[in-house]
Structure 1
Amino acid sequence: MKLKTLLFFVIIFLSVNYTIAQSHTFKLGDDAFLLDGKPLQMISGEMHYPRIPREAWRQRMKMAKAMGLNTIGTYVFWNLHEPQKGKFDFSGNNDVAEFVKIAKEEGLWVILRPSPYVCAEWEFGGYPYWLEKEEGLVVRSKDPKYLEEYRKYINAVGKQLAPLQINHGGNILMVQIENEYGSYSNDKEYLAINKQMFIEAGFDGLLYTCDPKPAIKDGHLPGLLPAINGIDNPAEVKALIKENHNGTGPFYIAEWYPAWFDWWGTKHHTVPAEQYVNRLDSVLAAGISINMYMFHGGTTRGFMNGANYNDRDPYEPQISSYDYDAPLDEAGNATDKFMKFRSVIQKHLAAGQVLPSVPKSKPVIVIPDVQLKQATSLFDILPAPKLNPEPLTFEDLNQAYGFLLYRTIVDGGVSGTLKIKELRDYGIIYINGKKAGVLDRRLKQDSLQVDLPKGKVKLEILVENLGRINFGPYLLKNKKGITDKVLLAGRELKNWKMYSLPFSSVKDLAFKSGKINAGSPAIKKGSFDLKKVADTYLDMRSWGKGIVWVNGHNLGRYWSIGPQQTIYLPAEWLKKTNNEVVVLELLKSEQTTLKTISKPILNELH
């Protein structure tokens, strides 16, 4: 009897484990993707794990299912996972493997994009800042130094994610190598090296490339599926892919844009759903697989926003909100676009298939005004300085993000032009502790007229990294800080002290009560209790420029120029008692009151 019972449990154990580990086949047919030999039309939406609180991943995926998606796409971000050379992090909000596993539990396939270049309106296009420190290293090339670091990264990613591919019992259908490479260069040998490194890292399933129409010839690698970005005319999509894939499909729009992103000082981008409904309908009717970029944008928290720049346009750092006017808004609620797209998708479901009901919008609260009663001047929390005759960059000081204060002593009694060559990106100038002016790379400002009093004068320049360029030919010109020299009335200033202020954490800052000198960059602190925990929006319209942390989470930047005037504060990062808020305010040190409202303001310019 005991033997029969034991045998019964062994059979059950083996059966369960076979079900868990059961692998599928996913292949390219001439016209369709084939899952276990049967056609699968991927209806996918992009959403990025670091732009969503880990605690909310599952809720966002349930919303994806409710709109009719069967797949989600995500980039993998090198600078998150290797913030310092050789130090990898796949924990907390960086646990991309858990993100993929939750998707499987929610019945979603995954398209994985570890590239390692991602663009994505993300700092340095996903590259870690320290690549800039490697002498002679050239990203997106066959440079041995770059390939060595790339290989270490993709091997680390492979350990996390290769076992989750569909051919190993997981839910990752396809893996993308590089990212819109044809918009950057055309080296097929480099692309082939990419492919081989992915395979060696364990990605032995279906690999593909993606490019916009003008770049597809340069960006695809023969033998891999060339997916297309940015167009949705079914005939054109099919013709382009056939032309570059031996006359066959299947057909995949890897990035279909239902709207666009925003940058500081420019209006909020919105596109009515009506402009896309018929186009989505025609794509699905043609049997083409599609990935909406974005289905849900979320928030680019911390210092991780990127920037655009080229020879024609000014430097354009992106805002913290990545709402994107996407079908699912920044807080994870269904929009009008969501409902209209859902109606289209419903038309193309298999007979008898019914979509889950759409969850109600999440509750929102307005918190009574929070008084920030503790304060300190940024000048009172300076670390030990680094001394050097010339200004050093962020990279010279092993600093990725945040701020850097430059200080020197000059002989006064001088009037003239203070010129900061190659300032990156935003500088506030102080003379003997008093603010003298601001220089802004966006506006191509690098000079300020100053009148120095007689005697020895303390000159300080507080420089903010507003985000490294994430797209185009300037990826290799991304150092931050004062990247050249400082001139006063034509004479180069020397003997600098540099104070690193990365603000990677605010938990150990020392505060005091009382006011801060007007014009001094100030750090304010307060706390609040809640009767109910729910989403809210910090209303920063009366503030100037800075960063907000709540319960240790860096929620991102605010800047009165707009268009973003609020900061989304997710319920998942709040608690009922003793919520701590810290605000770094650069321009309006007199502010002490933090307000909240129930809706975001993403379209107000000043």
Structure 2
Amino acid sequence: MRFKGYILLAILFFSFQQSFAQQAKHIFALSDSSFVLDGKPFVIISGEMHYPRVPREAWRQRMKMAKAMGLNTIGTYVFWNLHEPQKGKFDFTGNNDVVEFVKMAKEEGLWVILRPSPYVCAEWEFGGYPYWLQNEKDLIVRSKESQYLKEYQDYIKEVGKQLAPMQVNHGGNILMVQVENEYGSYGSDKEYLAINEKFFREAGFDGLLYTCDPAGDIANDHLAGLLPAVNGLDDPGKVKKLIKGLNDGKGPFFIAEWYPAWFDWWGAPHHTVPAAEYSGKLDSVLAAGISINMYMFHGGTTRGFMNGANYKTTSPYEPQTSSYDYDAPLDEAGNATSKFMEFRNVIQKHLPAGEVLPDVPTAKPVMAIPSISLSSSVKIGDLLTAPVKNISPLTFEDLKQDYGFVWYRTTLTGGKAGMLKLKDLRDYAMVMLNGKRVGTLDRRLNQDSLMLTLPKGKITLDILVENLGRINFGKFLLQNKKGITEKVVFAGNEVKNWEMYSLPFTDISKVQFKPVVQPGNTPMLKKGIFKLGQVADTYLDMSSWGKGVVWLNGHNLGRYWGIGPQQTLYMPAEWLKIGNNEIIVAELLQPEQQELHSLEHPILDAVKK
């Protein structure tokens, strides 16, 4: 009995030690030249990785890879439109469980830099803003307008409830928290910035706050008392001079976004940058004792309908691809690249004495699935239920719909020809007469008009409009409504009396499929069941298909589009099952396709005109 008592005491003592270690508070502070962690100089070597762009089941593997490259910190945004998809309805579950993401990083020995600004940019839909902000009367994002500030404050309070207790000064692993995001590239209202800081403090973020901007805009965003950090600059002398000039001649010095490559958008070449062009710069930055966050360390995939878009008056609308591979050190599937190895070699040179990096895990297994038959289908036009009726077309926002598609329907009197014009189409439209496609219109190409010849009689005009992603950067953030946003004109006359059918495709499991449906010239959903004896990463080859979306076992894998450069969709092993698997394809342009194949490697660099 005495021996059992000793064992019980030992267990209780060990549990107490573990609990105390979890709650132990660290001191993270600024000196005139460096960050200081528990009284010792500390160089942040961080890599950006966004929790919604990686399957939750794979978070830990990616973090182990971060440690193996030499990172001591992970940076991540927090995405408002994920966590409050509808006003007042918050979601921090599943792949949105950012608290678990931060906890897991701690378990893997990683600090976290948190970026919960309501605006994130990030090549993300609407820059992270929820679509419904556009329905709030007179609301102006990134401003002192009262309704925006109310919604912003409500949101950041919810984020604070989740994450403020995880700051380093409360025993957690969040080192720093970013206020706003590259605001200097958008405006220069210091009162607005001060309100941001106040909201963050009131939400419980009472540790170290910072701002970050490109070098040319950083003065617009600097707020006294907050650490200024620079994006996109990696010359040590210039970094130190810039920060000292804003910070009373002091440091520390932090490159908050360092770009070893870039992102892609549909119809443009894949972006790659050789590691050799950046390894020397990384070496010089670390040799100078400057902290750094590489954007991205691991990009992953922008699944579902969450990609953003760029737009300028001098360039076309540019919706981004689903692959967010970014030519990053860790590829889309989480494997080390040559860039990873070169950066690891650089980081290794600057480790504290006696510290050794973990071995690099071997590449994950891959497989190719030779053939998947899509044996059942349904016409998307057969999914239409109760419409919303209106004299003029309604936008997605009018319909309280966030993403996906809207089907517009009206009738025309036939027997004539004329130009069909969709004023301010956003973003891609398939035009059908009596159920058959007669043309498409693409905002990227500034297309909004189509010549039609109508047969005699009453003609059903259907227009299926896809939201290809709201603008995520620049001054057009409040010009982001989707669908047919103005009016439709045919042969010089406005077309009225519309029916609108919402097709958000948020729950694909409710669709009823039929064994055999003749495709015709109309968009379709197709389903197949395939059996696996083992699971591994694979890449769905969509190069012979047209345009659409794919779901695997209920997970939206993202968009595909034959124009490229992305021709494959990454299918993570974590979402495949031994036994039966279900795959569903929404195909707009080539509904006759009946078969899918996969590859052991991605195709991200094939542009087709």
TM-score, normalization by structure 2: 0.98
Distance 1:11 1:375, change over 3 A: closer
Correspondences of 1:6-21 after superposition (within 5 Å): 13-21=15-23
Match of 2:425 in 1: 423
| Counterpart-to-counterpart distance in 1, 2:263 and 2:41 | 34
The residue identity in structure 2 corresponding to 1:116 is P
Match of 2:142 in 1: 140
The residue identity in structure 2 corresponding to 1:226 is P
Match of 1:547 in 2: 549
Q: Deviations over 1:177-205 (max 9, x none)?
A: 00000000000000000001001001000
Contact 1:376 1:516 in 2 (8 A): no
Range moving further from structure 2, 562-571 or 239-248: 239-248
Which of 579, 582, 595 aligns to 1:580? It is 582
| Counterpart-to-counterpart distance in 2, 1:52 and 1:20 | 26
The residue identity in structure 2 corresponding to 1:398 is K
Shift of 1:45: 0.2
Match of 1:73 in 2: 75
Match of 2:64 in 1: 62
Distance 1:20 1:484, change over 3 A: same
| Counterpart-to-counterpart distance in 1, 2:46 and 2:23 | 24
Contact 1:305 1:317 in 2 (8 A): yes
Match of 1:119 in 2: 121
| Counterpart-to-counterpart distance in 2, 1:417 and 1:8 | 83
| Counterpart-to-counterpart distance in 2, 1:394 and 1:13 | 53
| DSSP-derived class of the 2:315 partner | coil
Match of 1:194 in 2: 196
| Counterpart-to-counterpart distance in 1, 2:375 and 2:157 | 48
The residue identity in structure 1 corresponding to 2:240 is K
The residue identity in structure 1 corresponding to 2:555 is H
Shift of 1:410: 1.2
Contact 1:565 1:604 in 2 (8 A): yes
Which of 160, 168, 171 aligns to 2:170? It is 168
Correspondences of 1:149-548 after superposition (within 5 Å): 149-548=151-550
Shift of 1:10: 6.2
Which stretches in structure 2 are left out of the alignment for 5+ residues? Answer: none
The residue identity in structure 1 corresponding to 2:288 is A
Shift of 1:19: 1.7
| Counterpart-to-counterpart distance in 1, 2:180 and 2:518 | 49
- Root mean square deviation of aligned Cα: 1.3
Match of 1:31 in 2: 33
| Counterpart-to-counterpart distance in 2, 1:161 and 1:475 | 27
Shift of 1:253: 0.1
| Counterpart-to-counterpart distance in 2, 1:14 and 1:340 | 42
The residue identity in structure 2 corresponding to 1:364 is V
Shift of 1:236: 0.3
| Counterpart-to-counterpart distance in 2, 1:317 and 1:8 | 59
Range moving further from structure 2, 2-11 or 268-277: 2-11
| Counterpart-to-counterpart distance in 2, 1:388 and 1:295 | 48
The residue identity in structure 2 corresponding to 1:327 is P
Shift of 1:433: 1.0
Shift of 1:7: 7.6
Distance 1:453 1:284, change over 3 A: same
Sequence identity percentage: 68
Contact 1:515 1:590 in 2 (8 A): no
Shift of 1:15: 3.5
| DSSP-derived class of the 1:602 partner | coil
TM-score, normalization by structure 1: 0.99
Distance 1:12 1:532, change over 3 A: closer
| DSSP-derived class of the 2:395 partner | coil
Contact 1:516 1:522 in 2 (8 A): no
| DSSP-derived class of the 1:507 partner | helix
Shift of 1:14: 4.1
| Counterpart-to-counterpart distance in 1, 2:103 and 2:9 | 31
| DSSP-derived class of the 2:420 partner | strand
Contact 1:516 1:589 in 2 (8 A): no
Shift of 1:220: 1.7
The total of aligned residue pairs comes to: 606
Contact 1:404 1:481 in 2 (8 A): yes
| Counterpart-to-counterpart distance in 2, 1:452 and 1:194 | 56
| Counterpart-to-counterpart distance in 2, 1:448 and 1:63 | 51
| DSSP-derived class of the 1:295 partner | strand
| Counterpart-to-counterpart distance in 2, 1:262 and 1:50 | 18
Contact 1:406 1:497 in 2 (8 A): yes
Shift of 1:219: 1.2
